[in-house]
Amino acid sequence: MSDVYAEPTTGAALTGPATLARYTTLRLGGPAARLDAATSAEEIVQKVQQAEARDEPVLVLAGGSNVVIGDQGFPGTVVLIRSRGFRVIAEDADTVTVRVEAGEAWDDLVAATIERGWSGLECLSGVPGSAGATPIQNVGAYGQEVAETITAVQAYDRTHGEVVRIAAADCGFAYRGSIFKYSDRWVVLSVDFRLTRSPLSGPVRYAELARALDVEVGDRVPLADARATVLRLRAGKGMVLDADDPDTWSVGSFFTNPVLEQEAYELLRERAADLGEPPSWPGAGGVAKVSAAWLIDKAGFGKGHPGPEGVAISSKHTLALTNRGGTASTAALVALAREIRDGVHDRFGVTLHPEPVLINCTI
């Protein structure tokens, strides 16, 4: 089954110093010592190996939607992932498995699967970035996670110098995490997704989405309806990229929802007794995943809360820390993040953790 729907783009690699702000959705980040673009899996491996041969540190960067790069930039080679395309590698009466190149634009892929009547990614519409980044943080939204459809990840193992295919069961998928996150060992080259042949979405699991669709949790809706509604909800929160809207110049959700053991959750409830029940979702083993957006807002950091030097909380969503343009810097953004983290801890005793990968900066 080798029907190719989009060929990888071609073109010479780009090299030389460059400011990384232009390659991130935050529009922040200092210069790279060297910048190389790779348009195929083979070229990605080659560029990484060449940098290693020069004894240079390597940063792999695709859509730049889940990374915060310091104002000092990166003192080595940044490999830009620009491989494109996907193809069917297996199919039966009920499912289709597609292999997607790491640099394929994620939302383009989602749109293409919906057009073909393949269900499984529809609630992840509008998520910025590339397909190769999705297994790294186990991208999820509106009740879906990519771990539910990924069957394997092809990656370059820098430790052993070989290309390997890692089964989903060995990827260590967890809430916004995997073996690939915070590890320099793996460079994702392609991802295999098994999708269902169906004109209908999977069961709607997220209450907000169900309300917006005017259905019950657990109902199924036409794929196009699910996509359109998710895009509308995301846009209302500034979570769909718009070059003219600084509310979208962010990494999306800056903090993950904290997962608390029962004792820690009860302590939170006590400290928040005057505010009502903290929004939460039960998990296995008695844990509770608590809304970080609620904690931030109730700790006094509402929508539009300003930070220093041209950064602020989004005017549409308290989880997004945004670059408002002008004199904004990464230092200012992480200072705002630190203020929020410390303020939430002081008020509720809960520590928030950043969702994006931080490069040459820290909170």
Strands 74-81 and 58-61 turn out to be parallel
| Per annotation, catalytic residue among 125, 253, 314, 329 | 253
The yes-or-no answer on residue 253 being catalytic is yes
| Per annotation, catalytic residue among 176, 194, 227, 324 | 176
From the centroid of its chain, how far is CA 209? 19
The yes-or-no answer on residue 176 being catalytic is yes
What is the phi/psi pair of residue 252, to 5°? 75, -135
- Given strand 31-38, what is the order of strands in its sheet? 18-19, 31-38, 74-81, 58-61
**Secondary structure of the chain in HEC code, one letter for each residue:** CCCECCCCCCCCCCCCCEEHHHHCCCCCCCEEEEEEEECCHHHHHHHHHHHHHCCCCEEEECCCCCEEECCCCEEEEEEEECCCCEEEEEECCCEEEEEEECCCEHHHHHHHHHHCCEECCHHHCCCCCEHHHCCCCCCEECCEEHHHCEEEEEEEECCCCEEEEEEHHHCCCECCECCCCCCCCEEEEEEEEEEEECCECCCCCCHHHHHHHCCCCCCCCEHHHHHHHHHHHHHHCCCCCCCCCHHHCCCCCCECCCEECHHHHHHHHHHCHHHCCCCEEECHHHCEEECHHHHHHHCCCCCCCECCCCEEECCCCCCCEEECCCCCCHHHHHHHHHHHHHHHHHHHCCCCCECCEEECCCC
The yes-or-no answer on residue 261 being catalytic is no
Residues β-bridged to residue 153: 166, 191
Report the catalytic residues. Answer: 176, 253, 355
